[in-house]
Amino acid sequence: MFLVMSDAYIALADGRVVEARGRVPGRTRGELVFTTAYTGYEESLTDPSYEEQVLTFSYPLIGNYGVRDERFESDRVHPRAAVAREFTEDVVEWLASEDVPAIDHIDTRDLVTSIREEGAMKCGIAVGDDVTPEDAREELAKCKGMSEHVDIGKQVSVDEPELHEGGGVTDVALVDCGAKGSIVSSLTDRGANVHVLPYDTSVSDIEALEPDVLFISNGPGDPANFEQAATLVEAFAGEVPIAGICLGQQVVARALGGTTEKMAFGHRGVNQPVIDVETGKVVMTTQNHGYTVAEPGDQLDVTQRNVNDDTAEGLANDELNVITRQYHPEANPGPHDTLGFFDEVLGMVDHDDTQRRAVADD
């Protein structure tokens, strides 16, 4: 059993310092955000979209069904620290193995209320036998030097191209801005061959690949940090079908004349209702983003909106063969209301042309 306990303090940007129980020692800092998910803690902690953030779980007990690596969305934990009302020993051991500071025995309801009222805020965390409130304040002070426009893509993207074969003839160029593994498997399960490419892939590299679909993935932070991905969208719009999820929607919108903005506390959880503008059908979705599309521009139509705050959840241009979603259709452990998005994406491909090209290549 991993029963080591220690002191812990979290210094908040609103001036408070909150005492907690230390579960994994360390000192760190970042943007304090929360998720409302009551399952899927393994998926959340391995989601690259949480890079450089401190993740607070609003559900009180985290770890009640263990830790299994087949549920991971990437190969490591991405938040800089984890906060909960109570972590089980399984989760504590896992976070300790990855040197991710963790604290519990804290009023997460109060933390979440503060974030909802004041917005996502910077925090400093100090965990250990001899830490003091001042140690947490020192970590918070370091946040002043943290830029909103760092090259964060390098921290979450593949270094070299990877091919995941689905056995079909459709080739998807997935620009990895911090892609979840379930996006890849959702495409390969449908027969697509997925070429996972670095976030800074060049136009010439895409031209050499001759993909049937250009797909911009999810990822952390400000979409303005992913200028090269936007360049790819500009270069291939109208030439190759284009899709995007989460950050990918924001990147596509910026590339095609839209604008994005930072949200007060973002959408993070498994219970976000989304309405289809045309049909009026409402689905439940999983989301994890702190930025949103403010204006879609003249080239994109808003096809879906968030029921709670009316933000854009889906964009499209039928003539350019562009379709995007702000939420995660591939959500694990769920809900699975929107998995059909991947069928729509692959449905944009002219399969006759793809088949002819495959035969010609042979």
Residues 163-178 pLDDT 10s: 999 999 999 999 999 9
Mean pLDDT over 216-240 rounds to 97
Mean pLDDT over 266-282 rounds to 94
Compute the distance between CA of residue 328 and CA of residue 336 in angstroms, rounded to an integer. 10
Mean pLDDT over 246-267 rounds to 97
Instruction: Tell me the Ramachandran region of residue 246: left when phi exceeds 0, alpha when psi lies from -120 to 50, beta otherwise.
Output: left
CATH of domain 6-145: 3.50.30.20
Look at residue 351 in the predicted model and tell me its pLDDT.
66
Residue 288 assigned as binding residue: yes
Q: Is 10:28 a contact under the CB 8 Å cutoff?
A: no
Q: Is 176:152 a contact under the CB 8 Å cutoff?
A: no
Look at residue 331 in the predicted model and tell me its pLDDT.
83
Active site residues: 246, 328, 330
Q: Is 214:176 a contact under the CB 8 Å cutoff?
A: no
Q: 46: closest CA among 173, 193, 218?
A: 218
- In a 13 Å sphere around the CA of 184, the CA atoms on its Cβ side amount to 19
Give percent above pLDDT 90 in the chain: 88
Question: Which strand (E) or helix (H) includes residue 23?
Answer: strand 17-24
Q: Is 174:195 a contact under the CB 8 Å cutoff?
A: yes
Look at residue 4 in the predicted model and tell me its pLDDT.
56
- Bridge partners of 194, per DSSP, are 164, 172
Q: Is the dihedral of CA 268, 59, 43, 145 positive or negative?
A: positive
Q: 265: closest CA among 84, 115, 72?
A: 115
Could you tell me how many residues make up the chain?
362
Residue 128 assigned as binding residue: no
Residue 49 assigned as binding residue: yes
Q: Is 274:307 a contact under the CB 8 Å cutoff?
A: yes
Please determine, for residue 138, whether its predicted confidence score (pLDDT) is greater than 60. Answer: yes
Please determine, for residue 86, whether its predicted confidence score (pLDDT) is greater than 80. Answer: yes
Q: Is 269:327 a contact under the CB 8 Å cutoff?
A: no
The tokens for 73 are 């969305």
- Phi, psi (5° rounding) for residue 161? -60, 145
Pick the CATH number of 153-361 from 2.60.40.10, 3.30.930.10, 3.90.420.10, 3.40.50.880: 3.40.50.880
Compute the distance between CA of residue 54 and CA of residue 34 in angstroms, rounded to an integer. 8
CA distances to 126, 183, 216, 279 from 189, rounded to whole Å, are 43, 10, 18, 28
Look at residue 61 in the predicted model and tell me its pLDDT.
96
Task: Give the global pTM.
Answer: 0.93
When pLDDT is cut at 50, 70 and 90, the band that residue 356 belongs to is very low
- Bridge partners of 162, per DSSP, are 196
Mean pLDDT over 260-289 rounds to 95
The tokens for 329 are 């259709």
- Bridge partners of 21, per DSSP, are 7, 104
Residues near 28 by beta carbon (within 8 Å), at least 6 away in sequence: 54, 80, 81, 101, 124, 125, 139
Give burial (CB, 10 Å; 0-12/13-18/19+) of 302. middle
Look at residue 1 in the predicted model and tell me its pLDDT.
45
Residue 290 assigned as binding residue: yes
Q: pLDDT for 179-220, tens place per residue?
A: 999 999 999 999 999 999 999 999 999 999 999 999 999 999
Q: 31: closest CA among 144, 142, 122, 152?
A: 122
Mean pLDDT over 228-234 rounds to 98
Residue 291 assigned as binding residue: yes
Q: pLDDT for 282-341, tens place per residue?
A: 999 999 999 999 999 999 999 999 999 999 999 999 999 999 999 999 987 778 889 999
Residue 6 assigned as binding residue: no
Residue 59 assigned as binding residue: no
Mean pLDDT over 238-249 rounds to 98
Residue 221 assigned as binding residue: yes
Domain ranges in the chain?
A: 6-145, 153-361
